[in-house]
Amino acid sequence: MSGMKCGGTSPPSDADENIQKLCDAVKSDAEAKAGRKFDVFTAKSYTQQCVCGTNYFIKVHVGGEEHIHIRVHKKLDCHGGEISLSSMQHSKTHQDPVEYF
């Protein structure tokens, strides 16, 4: 998380296996929120923010040219480490920067 300002978000990074696992954990919640099933749900990039736990802002490819941005919160391990979908933005493209929302 180098380059992160206190309370700010990290610079964008390519998604890795750990970020994909976060996406997999909230996929059904994202589908419920969107009112549709996603055949593809692949993490592409992300930024993160340290709060009481970590907020992850993740760009997710959901098929064709369509992307969504999701905010996933992971509680600190000492508070149970639960993962939850906090928010979602629709109608994003591959070129849209992933940032705080």
Contacts of 2 (CB under 8 A, 6+ apart): 10
Write down the pLDDT at residue 51: 86
> Which residue stretches of the chain have pLDDT < 50?
1-2, 4
What is the residue whose two structure tokens read 């040219």? 65
Contacts of 15 (CB under 8 A, 6+ apart): 23, 43, 44, 45, 46, 58, 59
Predicted model pTM: 0.89
